[in-house]
Each structure stands twice: as C-alpha cells, then as structure tokens.
Amino acid sequence: MSQNKNQDAFLTTQWTRVIAAKGQSNDARSALGELSESYYAPVVSFLKKEGRSDDAARDLAHSFFAWLLSRDALATLEPERGRFRSYLLGALKHFIIHEREKSSAQKRGNQITHLSIQSATDTSPGLDPADSLTLPPDQEFDRQWALHLIREAMSALQTEWTDAGKEDEFLNLRSFLDGNAAHGDLTALAQKISQNDNSLRSQLHRLRRAFRKHLKGQIAPTVPSSTEVSDELQTLLTSLG
C-alpha cells in the first residue's frame, strides 16, 4: 500500500480509534497510547504554565495519560466529535480537578468523589480550574500543539523530498519554511549553488505548497470534518504569533 493510502486511512480513522479506545482491545489501547505520546509536550507545557516545576509537570502528565488510559476514566468520556485539541485540553482540566477533589477527600477521611466528565468542545470549553493562570496555560497548550504539528509536517515533507531524490533542495530551502531566513538570503543561496534565481524561487514555491499540504494532513485527523481544517490551521498559526 502506498504512503498516501496509508495516510488517508489514518486521517479517516484517528477519531474513531480514540473513541474505540474506551474498549479494552490491544488495538484500541495502542491507538490512544500513540496519541498520548504525540501530545505529551503540550500537556506538560500547560501544567508548567500553571506554576508547576518541570519534574512535577512531567509526573502529573504521566498520571494524566495513565488515567486517560484506565478503564474507569474512559468509561465516562463522551467526546462530541469536536476538535481533538479541545477534547484533550478539556480532559486534562477535568483530570486536574479530579486530582484536587481526590486530595481533598482524602484529607476529609478518604471520602472520594467521582466526577461525571463531559468533554470540552469548540463552543464549550468544559469545566475550568478556578485560578488566574487559566488563560496563559491554554495559550501555551495551543502553541505547543501547533509546534508539534509543524514538526511532524516538516518531517513528512523531508521524507517525501528525500524519497524523490531532492534532499539537497529541501535542506537548502528549509530555512525559508521555518522563518530563519533573512531578506536577500534566497538570492545569496542562488549565487552560492550556481542556480538561476527565478528557478530557485519556483522551487521554494513548490516546497511551501507541499509543506502546507502536509501541515493540513497533520491537522485533518484532529478535527471532525475537512471543512474545519483551514480554520484550525489559522487558529494554530495565530497561537504562534
């Protein structure tokens, strides 16, 4: 099966596999485990922005994903098929509250309160921890989410161009994708590699178009429909601003 067919299959089944992870099959738990690994960095960043140390944030992130993978926690999760970013952030906030409730109950004599979880959607952010640092952690979560998708898209793009025998072209032009190139650098590069300036600009245009395709490919499985990809892309790019 070609890489494109594999990717198309992934794009259409990712949310389905997340929901299926409420079951106990090896495939279901593997699916959610892979997603947990992918989005570990945004979760840690959110927790650190709330005032936790790096070690404490990482420990709590591990606990969060372990909780998310547990049978009891998954049984209460009913995603509304919104954006996966919103779903995961809402679940994280509920987990934080769950931990606070549990800690409080233990202090009162181990009287534990179980939460009924309703996942966040794009129009309803879910239950929010009551503290003044809520907004900055949310913004950092989105920023790290965007950076993760960009890294994945860049990696896929490099693989594509390398397989096509154009790795040198990719490496020469990569800095023009990640914003590290300065004004006039493209002309200087054309002179350095003895290539026509207009030809190099056309090559860069194709690379940028391919990068945008891969970035949208990373976003597609995290939103409920293809019509929301462009809006989510704009939201994530704004989060980097």
pLDDT at 19: 61
User: 167-191: buried (b, 16+ CB within 10 Å) or exposed (e) per residue?
Assistant: eebbebbbebbeeebeeeebeebbe
DSSP per-residue codes, 150-205: HHHHHHHHHHHHHHTT-HHHHHHHGGGTTT-PPTTHHHHHHHHTT--HHHHHHHHH
Residue in 76, 92, 72, 96 with CA at minimum distance from that of residue 84: 92
pLDDT at 90: 86
Radius of gyration over every alpha carbon of the chain, rounded to an integer in angstroms: 21
Cα 35 to its chain centre, rounded Å, is 9
Report the predicted TM-score, pTM, of the whole model to 2 decimal places: 0.70
pLDDT at 214: 95
Q: 44 with 53: CB under 8 angstroms?
A: no
Cα 33 to its chain centre, rounded Å, is 14
Note down pLDDT in tens along the chain; length 241 residues.
Answer: 444 444 443 333 455 556 655 656 676 667 667 767 778 899 999 999 988 999 999 999 989 988 877 755 555 555 555 787 888 888 899 889 988 887 776 665 554 434 333 344 443 333 333 333 444 688 889 989 999 899 999 999 999 999 999 999 999 999 888 766 777 889 999 999 999 889 999 999 999 999 999 999 989 888 878 888 999 999 988 888 7
Which bin fits 176, alpha (ψ -120 to 50), beta or left (φ > 0)?
A: alpha
pLDDT at 112: 41
Output the six-digit token pair for 49: 């922005």
pLDDT at 106: 61
User: 76-114: buried (b, 16+ CB within 10 Å) or exposed (e) per residue?
Assistant: ebebbebbbbbbbbbbbbbbbbbeeeeeeeeeeeeeeee
